[in-house]
Amino acid sequence: MDDCSAGTAPASRAPLRVAAHGRPPWPLHGAALSRLIEQHAQQGLPTHTLMQRAGASVARFALAIAPHARGIWVACGPGNNGGDGLEAAMHLHRAGKRVQVGLLGDPTRLPPDAAASLRRAQAAGVPITDSASPPTVPSCHDLAIDALLGVGGARAPQGALAAAVMHLRHWPGTVLCVDLPSGLHPDTGQAFEESGDVVRGHHTVSLLTLKPGLFTGSGRDHAGQVWFDDLQTGLREPPTAWLFSKSASIEPGRRHSQHKGSFGDVLVLGGAAGMTGAALLAGRAALVAGAGRVFVHTLGDPAWPVDTMTPELMFRDAAAVEAMNWAPLTLVCGCGGGTVVRAMLPRALSHAGRLVLDADALNAIAADPMLQSLLEGRGRRGAATILTPHPLEAARLLGVEEAATVQSDRLRAARQLADRYRSVVVLKGSGSVVAAPDTVPSINFTGNAALASAGTGDVLAGWMAGLWPQGRDALLAAQLATHAHGAAADRWVASHGHQGPLPASRLIELLAGYPP
Ligand SMILES: NC(=O)C1=CN([C@@H]2O[C@H](COP(=O)(O)OP(=O)(O)OC[C@H]3O[C@@H](n4cnc5c(N)ncnc54)[C@H](O)[C@@H]3O)[C@@H](O)[C@H]2O)[C@@H](O)CC1
Ligand SMILES: Nc1ncnc2c1ncn2[C@@H]1O[C@H](COP(=O)(O)OP(=O)(O)O)[C@@H](O)[C@H]1O
Ligand SMILES: [K+]
């Protein structure tokens, strides 16, 4: 279903399905910008227009996703998100559904738009209580609409609101969230407090703007499929971030006249004793990404001589690597590098043309101010670097204690790293954030928990290094690689029907286009 439609829908345009393919990136707006946009939009319209459009859109969408729902419980909060719910309830009631509203907020203190929707719902005869519980024991055919909190959510739900969130979490049928899953921070994709409950929706209709929190951190677990309705405002404000979506035109394809020298040489430095596999995974991934030649120097003793599974890889010992000119190369540094990788870093940071730094290389830099200043200096000289930290590595690079600090605002952490080290940064995890200095960051929307498997990060680093020299700048290489990496995992889940771990070697095959 690309655009939703329903037979008995009230008049409004259908929300768009938010997908990671086939269109330009989607603009994302945080809570503050969304409010500003709402204010601007209200100025040009008669009072209450936006809420009427929002409620009509939600009702229409509800009828499309749950046409056979018998009962519909609409849990409404104390603000305008609740107003959207009341407005939707009125339409669903008129469409002949058995609707029950639980209004959790003082009806005399609703904001004006929500108060207007309450009057309209009352006038239409919608049953409204102040109960946080659904009226009857719900069945799996019933639909619940979460209109408790939207962009005004400011703290973890408590009391009656928390009770309603629990009912929504245990709802046996479909759950549709209005604007945001209640309890989710619109900007960060986290609960307001570690222990704070968040609704888990099957669908979320994001209104007026798309919020970044729907797509990163734990947002994806709570939002389900996201749909977007701009409420016919067509507003174009500069975004907080982009949701990366790949359109076909980004990939130029290979010209007949090209040869292996056109596609760049990659050198992988990693694979210390006991971790050779990490360097091999990165090397293999660089090969299937299309690098012209891939050299591998494993840091264990003795260095690895050949990979019989991938004889295309060219192994180089310490003396050979020392003699190579690193300036035209794309270096991947890290990938099971242990502590020995540190010795390679001063030269890599000073002389590598393009540099992808992962895992142990990042840990070494985080622990060494001299390496940090080399990395910063590299950025100031305009030399291109991509850092691919997971949240704990990012925390170390930022000098903070815990990964949780990074996770509490992934967009901010990625931006801080990019600005500090003048590098492109891929902050990995659900909804990987790709940031570059002085640039609006993007969130990657492909991938799933099947990637939570040892070695998939090495594959990402190698794949990125393989893509990069093929006529792309660092930022686009990072975005495309992260997108393809996640999309391969999505194909795997689609063909296996579950999110069991995706072995890193299999991931490389999927990236290469072997059958899912
Ligand atoms: N005004 C309008 O015409 C429009 C409003 N819209 C809707 O309005 C929403 C924003 O409305 P609001 O700004 O009123 O904000 P919300 O409805 O998201 O909630 C704000 C209210 O909840 C309270 N609150 C926040 N966290 C709470 C907690 N943990 N426990 C108890 N109370 C809590 C706040 O103090 C405030 O009263 C959007 O998300 C969207 O759904 C959109 O439909 C666009 C049009
Ligand atoms: N739950 C998830 N959803 C989406 N992507 C994930 C998830 N878990 C892990 N990944 C991705 O898998 C890769 C894991 O990388 P990393 O943590 O460095 O692992 P390793 O060091 O074992 O290779 C990253 O690209 C990360 O974004
Ligand atoms: K909500």
Give 313-341 pLDDT, tens digit per residue: 999 999 999 999 999 999 999 999 899 99
Within 6 A (CB) of ligand 1 lie 38, 50-51, 54, 77-82, 84, 111, 113, 149-158, 161, 178-179, 207-208
Among candidate residues 242, 109, 222, 125, the one with its CA nearest the CA of residue 168:
222
Residue pair 62/227 in contact by the 8 Å Cβ criterion: no
pTM attached to this predicted model: 0.93
- CA dihedral (410, 428, 433, 156) in degrees, to 10, reads -30
CA–CA gap between residue 119 and residue 108 (Å, rounded): 11
CA–CA gap between residue 2 and residue 115 (Å, rounded): 34
448 belongs to an annotated ligand binding site: no
What integer is the mean pLDDT of 1-12?
Answer: 41
390 belongs to an annotated ligand binding site: yes
Ligand 2 centre and the CA of 7: distance in Å?
A: 42
The residue whose C-alpha atom lies closest to atom 4 belonging to ligand 1 is 51
Task: Write down the ipTM of this complex.
Answer: 0.92
CA–CA gap between residue 153 and residue 447 (Å, rounded): 28
The DSSP result for 14-75, as a single string, is PPEEP-SBSSPPEEE--HHHHHHHHHHHHHTS-TTHHHHHHHHHHHHHHHHH-TT-SEEEEE
Beta strands in 398-512 (DSSP E): 424-427, 433-435, 442-444
The tokens describing 175, both together, are 């759950």
CA–CA gap between residue 82 and residue 71 (Å, rounded): 19
| Model pLDDT, residue 249 | 58
CA–CA gap between residue 385 and residue 334 (Å, rounded): 13
- Which one of the ligands is nearest to 387 CA? 2
| Model pLDDT, residue 1 | 35
Among candidate residues 266, 262, 284, 282, the one with its CA nearest the CA of residue 331:
266
10 has pLDDT over 50: no
CA–CA gap between residue 198 and residue 146 (Å, rounded): 11
Among candidate residues 154, 220, 208, the one with its CA nearest the CA of residue 182:
154
- CA dihedral (215, 216, 219, 220) in degrees, to 10, reads 60
Residue pair 33/440 in contact by the 8 Å Cβ criterion: no
CATH topology of domain 16-242: Rossmann fold (3.40.50)
141 has pLDDT over 60: yes
Ligand 3 centre and the CA of 266: distance in Å?
A: 48
- Which one of the ligands is nearest to 55 CA? 1
Angle between helices 504-511 and 474-496 (to 10 degrees): 110
Out of 356, 453, 456, give the residue to mutate to test ligand 2, the one with the largest number of ligand atoms within 8 Å of its CB. 456
42: alpha, beta or left? (left if phi > 0; alpha if psi -120 to 50): alpha
Give the mean pLDDT of the chain: 93
Going from N- to C-terminal start, the domains of the chain cover 16-242, 264-511
Residue pair 480/246 in contact by the 8 Å Cβ criterion: yes
CA–CA gap between residue 104 and residue 179 (Å, rounded): 17
363 belongs to an annotated ligand binding site: no
Domain 264-511 in this protein, CATH class? alpha beta
235 has pLDDT over 90: no
Ligand 2: which atom is nearest the Cα of residue 429?
A: 27
Residues in the 5 Å CB sphere of ion ligand 3: 146, 177-178, 182
Give tens-digit pLDDT for 399-434. Answer: 998 999 999 999 999 999 999 999 999 999 999 999
